[in-house]
Amino acid sequence: MKGLKLNSMNLKIDKSWTLFLDRDGVINERLQDDYVKSWEQFRFIDGTLEAINMFTQHFGRIVVVSNQQGVGKGLMPASELELIHKQMQQAVAEAGGKIDRVYYSPYLEVEKHITRKPAIGMGLKARQDFNEISFKKSIMAGDSFSDVLFGKRLGMKTVLIGERDMAREHPNLIDLVYPDLITFARSIK
């Protein structure tokens, strides 16, 4: 499965652009009917470290925005989640890439909290922390409907990581589709 080339959308990606990434199912393997609750359970998807290294060469900022209701359910403390994120960032840095910041929403889906995607709170917090972020010069890459809706609500370009079925169902929400991050990264040249 191939995605569309960014060039076909006439986008010139440079250091003034920001890349927003979802975590589970995009950066690391999603656990079926469970949550990644420790670093020992965290597995990078093949090619992800190389992809983030490549993204680092093109984007000025790379931030992760992730719903993590396992914390809200009491399945893990926030301190353990933050340790996972710190180790993830360290592994990315050791591979030559960078993640500027990780934002997460610990709230349950039923709470409809402003920080839980598809609500836009994590995006607004990122722009507050990095005032050079322009959502018109940002891309949201995720594997779920809530990821692409989050991106569209903020005026970003959206990249679906995964199967094309959702793109067919929601063509106005999804700009590009790639099977994984490394395929997406290789398209930006």
Residues taking part in catalysis: 22, 24
Q: Domains in the chain, start-ordered, CATH in brackets?
A: 6-162+174-187 (3.40.50.1000)
**pTM of the shown model:** 0.94
Q: What pLDDT, on a 0 to 100 scale, did the predictor assign at position 171?
A: 81
Per-residue pLDDT tens digits of the chain, which is 189 residues long: 344 444 445 678 999 999 999 999 999 999 998 999 999 999 999 999 999 999 999 999 999 999 999 999 999 999 999 999 999 999 999 999 999 999 999 999 999 999 999 999 999 999 999 999 999 999 999 999 999 999 999 999 999 999 888 778 888 899 999 999 999 999 986
Q: What pLDDT, on a 0 to 100 scale, did the predictor assign at position 143?
A: 96
Listed as own residue / partner, the contacts of 137-140 with beta carbons closer than 8 Å and 24 or more positions apart are 137/16, 137/17, 137/18, 138/17, 138/18, 138/19, 138/20, 139/17, 139/18, 139/19, 139/20, 140/20, 140/21, 140/22, 140/65
Judge residue 118's burial from the number of C-beta atoms within 10 Å of its C-beta, 0-12 exposed, 13-18 middle, 19 or more buried. Answer: middle
Other C-beta atoms closer than 10 Å to the C-beta of 9 total: 10
**Strand, coil or helix: what is 124?**
helix
